[in-house]
Every structure is written in structure tokens, then in C-alpha cells.
Structure 1
Amino acid sequence: MAIPTMSSRTPLRGNHRSAQSLSLPFAVISGLNPKRNRSRTTLLAILALISVSAFFYCRQYPMSISPTYLLHDKVDTPATDQMVLALETNRDSRAAAARKHRKLSAGRSQITLTPAQELAAVSSFLASLPQNVIPSAVDPSRPINPELVLDFDTRSPHAMEEVARVVEDVWARNPVLLYGKLYSPATRELKAILSDMNLRPPPFIMDVDIRDDVEVLAPMLARLTQSPELPVLLIGGQPVGSLAQIRTMLASGELQRRVKAAGAVIGGGKRRKNKK
């Protein structure tokens, strides 16, 4: 029996046809100009090899190159599903709260503050953080927009209750408050009087003339306290009077009684030790 060899005329049909189909383009290109097209033939061979490899890889692992967002519905990820559900629930709850707020606030007018309430709101705003300033666009001759100095919904049905709490809190924290000028002799005298009282809590002192909002704050304080000039001393939220009046009250003991009635303790502060 004759053993088939490579020269036999009964080759494997499938392999022979595949080899012919793959080698035909290369043979044609190489036959045209072997020297010029040798590099092109090599490049085409590499590209063909990559294409065939990618084809068989995709057939064997069809899901391996699928985007992750397409696999979300096909892969069981309970932790991810719970996270997505929590985020969607939180987003929906915030949107519902915003819609409810707009519905409740629709048609409600802004609250109107009395001069005493406005003075308390402005003082609370300025005393809470050193960087708080009154915007330059505010007209000091008119009542300030409560939304600029209050940190709650000023259109809420309970807004006035919140204002009352602000008024009580600011004067409890700052029973003695001095709006003055840094280079004013009258302010220096009032600072010395308060320092001698050694108050607890210590007086809140603000030099208005060195602030960025002095052009708005100074006339606003003049309107709210009925004091045309600084300094202005507030005890329990009430303007005390001029420097001459304060001297008279200090001599009679009236000033000390007002300070105690406002909640400050005379002699209760910490004194600085004198350096030897």
C-alpha cells in the first residue's frame, strides 16, 4: 500500500483552500514588486494574524469585552443594586422635600422685622463669624432683607418664633456689646470702663471703622439705635446713651445695675497677670 506524501494529488480539501485564500493576496502583492512591497506584505500578514486571533477570541469569550454597564443586568451584584437603590431613594426624598417646601412657601410673603429685631439679627450675624459682612448692595436706610442675616426659612409659618429665639440668644451670649471706632477717644474710654468691670461673659467689641462694610454698617446702626455717631453701647440689646450719660450712670451705679440685669457678672472675668 502506498503511503500518501506531500506530493500526493489528494490533499485535504479544507486546509488546501484555506491556505490558497490566505496566500493569494500576499502572492499577488509580492509578485508586483517584491522589493517595494516586502514591508507591506509583512504588515498585512501581522494585521491578518491579529484579525484572525481577535475573531476566534470573541467567539470563545463573547462577554469578556462587553461594557460593564451592559453586564449590570446580567451579573448578580446585590451590593451594587442596594447602593443604587439607596441613592435613588435619597434623591427622590430630596426632590419630594423641595417640592413640598415650594408648595408650602408659595404665596407667602417675607417676614417684617421691627428695628429691635433687626438690630438683634444683624448683631447675631456679625458676632457669629468674624468674616460675616453686610453686602455692599444693601440700602442702610431701609430694613434689611431677613434672609441675608438669618439662617432659617424666613417665609416659614414659624419664622417669627425663630426670630424670637435669635433675639433671646444673641443678647444672652452678648449682654454687653460695643460698636465703636478704633481711633476714637470716646471708644477708648468706654473700652477702659468695660475692662475695669472685668465682665463674664466678656463684652463683644467691634471697631466698625476698620471693617470692609463700614459704609453700610455705620448708617444702618445709626438708623437702628437712633444714635447718630459711634460709639454705641448696647446692654441687653438696648442702647445706653451718649458718653456723657454713661459717665453719669457709672457714677451713680445705674450702669452696673443694668449690666447685672442683662446677665453679665461684674468681676467674674479672668484678669491678665501683670508681668514683672
Structure 2
Amino acid sequence: MSLELLGCAAIAAVAVLLGNVVVAEASTSPSAFVQNVIYSNKIAIFSKSYCPYCLRAKRIFSELHEQPFVVELDLRDDGAQIQSVLLDIVGRTTVPQIFVNGKHIGGSDDLKAAVLSGQLQKLLSIS
């Protein structure tokens, strides 16, 4: 098997392992990419793979049996540009930045508060 095919197989294996985690580069502008992610997914998390607050947010959705669409900014060449777009949209540079049905929830603490108040479950139409 050629090295090129092995590389493709490795990328495919990583994609399978990561599930809905996006590490591939966007073919559009960072702004268009962010808007597409926010409005094309029930749950979108802009994250960094090593961030404990991001891990907590992902765990909360896992406990609710919901699978978010995750963009790991630290694994992308355009992660800094995406983070800049998020600053323009939400006024924050911190991660995670969480969106449900196109609505900005906030970060990890905001997500936890939304769960405790029942707001998140209403947005997700679960009880």
C-alpha cells in the first residue's frame, strides 16, 4: 500500500474516532464557516481539545445523550481566525462557546446553569 493511501486511511480512521469533531480546514471564510456550523447543527461547541471547561461541556451533553458538533480550534490552522469571528459574534475569546439551535448559550458555567434551570432541556425539547 502506498504512503499516500496509508495517509488517507489514517485520516479516515481519525475522522471515525472523532465522530462529530471537526479538524479539517474550512473551504470557506472563517466567518462563513462559523455561521454554517452554528446554524446547521442542533448543538455546536467551539472548543480546544485540552481545555477542562470544554471537556465538562462535552460531558454534560453526553450525560443528556446528545451529540454536539465540536470544532476543536487548537487542531485547526484557522483556529485563531475562527476564535476572532467568535469574538465578533459573542464578545468572548474564551472556550467553550456553545450554541443550541442557533442560540448562543455561552461557556461551560452558562451551560451548567442552563441545565440546572431547565432552559437547556427546553431548547433541546427533552425532559
User: TM-score if structure 2 supplies the norm length?
Assistant: 0.67
Q: Which digits, 9 at most, give the CA deviation of each residue in 1:77-131, with x for residues without a partner?
A: xxxxxxxxxxxxxxxxxxxxxxxxxxxxxxxxxxxxxxxxxxxxxxxxxx7x934
Which protein is richer in strand relative to its size?
Answer: 2
Bigger drift between 235-244 and 190-199 goes to: 235-244
Taking structure 1 as reference, are residues 133 and 245 closer, same or farther at Cα in structure 2, changes over 3 Å only? same
- Given candidates 175, 181, 188, the residue that maps to 2:48 is 181
Cα separation, 2, equivalents of 1:208 and 1:133: 15
Do the aligned partners of 1:134 and 1:216 also contact (CA within 8 Å) in 2? no
Q: How does 1:127-276 map to 2 (within 5 A)?
A: 130-133=24-27, 149=32, 171=39, 173-199=40-66, 202-260=67-125, 266=126
- Tell me the equivalent position of 1:35: none
Stretches of structure 1 lacking an aligned partner (at least 5 in a row)? 1-126, 139-143, 151-165, 261-265, 268-276
Q: Among the aligned pairs, what percent are the same residue?
A: 21
Q: Which digits, 9 at most, give the CA deviation of each residue in 1:224-276, with x for residues without a partner?
A: 2222311100011121123222212211211111122xxxxx59xxxxxxxxx
How far off is 1:134 after superposition?
5.6
Aligned length: 105
Q: Which digits, 9 at most, give the CA deviation of each residue in 1:110-164, with x for residues without a partner?
A: xxxxxxxxxxxxxxxxx7x9342566xx8xxxxx5xxxx49xxxxxxxxxxxxxx
SS at match of 2:95: coil
Cα separation, 1, equivalents of 2:64 and 2:25: 28
Cα separation, 2, equivalents of 1:134 and 1:217: 11
Stretches of structure 2 lacking an aligned partner (at least 5 in a row)? 1-21
Cα separation, 2, equivalents of 1:179 and 1:232: 5
* Matched residue type, 2:65: N
Cα separation, 2, equivalents of 1:231 and 1:195: 15
Q: Which digits, 9 at most, give the CA deviation of each residue in 1:7-54, with x for residues without a partner?
A: xxxxxxxxxxxxxxxxxxxxxxxxxxxxxxxxxxxxxxxxxxxxxxxx
